[in-house]
Amino acid sequence: MIKAIIFDLDGVVVDTAKHHFKAWSLVAKKLNVPFAEDQNEDLKGVSRANSLEKILQWGDLEISLDKKQELLDYKNKIYLNLISKISSKDLLPGVYHLIETFRKNGFKIALGSSSKNAIPILKKLELFDLFDEIVGGNLVSISKPNPEVFLKASSLLGVPKEKCLVFEDAQSGIQAALNAGMYCIAVENKGNLIGAHKKVNSLNEISDISALINDLADKKPKT
Ligand code: BG6
Ligand code: MG
């Protein structure tokens, strides 16, 4: 049965989705591309470079590689500024307790994130030492919904994919977990995520991990 838990970072562990949105809004404004909050759902879980490609597609724009790099650097500079004061106060409800509970019960814990900022963020949140393995955007070549990030986490942990459970808040991430052949719990925010084995509105809804694991045992990892 399930032996390892893989957490997405942005929107599952920490409340940073609003900062990514703000930074992308400024990029879209520079490009004169209309960008509403519901469109931001399509960027969640997606790498920085692929997110920019989506915004360019929405605006039907083609720009040079140099200009792309300039915009990616600009986005990250704004984002880093917005999260400069991030701390354990920005953890999402229930996450610290849940990680601790899984650890105490012998589960391996990994991070599976598209963010190239994952390691400094975990350090600021004082969570770095709770993870057995950390797979961030720097270790991944193909963005979610490709399963690479989660398969890398499973291989580093030495736990087969069908024994891994992923917590995700993004549709691209749920798809990545399912594409990896893993179990997935959606952490809802807007009520529109589909495909996961189970949904919660917040991690603090999970009070009994044995009941959760038994509940999932009746289901098969979807492929
Ligand atoms: C994901 C976020 O976790 O990481 C995306 O949901 C973000 O919004 C992606 O674009 C890449 O993050 P970063 O920190 O490398 O720009
Ligand atoms: Mg996320």
pLDDT for 222: 63
Q: What is the pLDDT of residues 129-166, one digit of tens each?
A: 999 999 999 999 999 999 999 999 999 999 999 999 99
- Considering only residues 218 and 106, tell me which one the structure prediction assigns the higher pLDDT: 106
Q: Residue whose CA is closest, atom 4 of ligand 1?
A: 115
Query: How does pLDDT run across 110-121, given as a tens digit for each residue?
Result: 999 999 999 999
144 lines ligand 1 (CB under 6 A): no
Catalytic residue numbers read: 8, 10
Side-chain-facing half-sphere of 140: CA atoms under 13 Å: 31
Task: Give per-residue pLDDT as tens, 54-70.
Answer: 999 999 999 999 999 99
143 Cβ inside 6 Å of ligand 1: no
10, 84, 148, best to mutate for ligand 1 pocket (most atoms within 8 Å of CB): 10
pLDDT at residue 148 in the model: 98
Q: How far away, in angstroms, is 13 Cα from ligand 2 center?
A: 8
Question: Taking residues 18-43, what's their average pLDDT?
Answer: 95
Q: Residue 124: what pLDDT? A: 96
Q: How far is the CA of 203 from the centre of ligand 2 (A)?
A: 13
Q: Which residues surround ligand 2, an ion (CB under 5 A)?
A: 8, 10-11, 169-170
174-186 per-position pLDDT tens digit: 999 999 999 999 9
- Could you tell me which of 31, 137, 13, 146 has the C-alpha nearest to residue 86? 13
Q: How far apart are the first and last CA of the chain?
A: 17
Taking the CA of 42 as reference, the closest ligand is 1
Q: Phi and psi of 164, rounded to 5°? A: -110, 140
Q: Is there an atom of ligand 1 within 6 Å of 16 CB?
A: no
Phi/psi of residue 37, each to 5°?
-60, -35
| Residue 34, beta-bridge partner list | none
Q: Which two tokens stand for residue 151?
A: 């398969």
Pocket flag, ligand 1, residue 52 (CB < 6 Å): no
Which own/partner contact pairs does 214-218 have at CB distance under 8 Å and 24+ positions apart?
Answer: 216/2, 216/165, 216/183, 217/1, 217/2
User: Over 80: is that where the pLDDT of 72 sits?
Assistant: yes
pLDDT band for 38, please (50, 70, 90 cuts).
Answer: confident
Residue carrying the six token digits 């975990």: 122
Beta strands 164-168; 133-135: pairing state? unpaired
Question: Which atom of ligand 1 is the closest one to the Cα of 116?
Answer: 15
CA of 208 to the centre of ligand 2 (A): 23
Q: In angstroms, what is the span from residue 23 Cα to ligand 1's centroid?
A: 11
82 DSSP assignment: H
The four Cα atoms 102, 104, 106, 112 give a dihedral, to 10 degrees, of: 40
pLDDT at 219: 84
Question: For residue 5, which of 108, 100, 101, 91 has the smallest C-alpha distance?
Answer: 108
The pLDDT-based confidence of 82 (bands split at 50, 70, 90) is: very high
Tell me the CB-side half-sphere exposure of residue 111, using CA atoms within 13 A.
31
Position 136 scores a pLDDT of 98
Residue 152 Cβ inside 6 Å of ligand 1? The answer reads: no
Q: Using the structure block, give the residue that is written with the tokens 């917590």.
A: 167
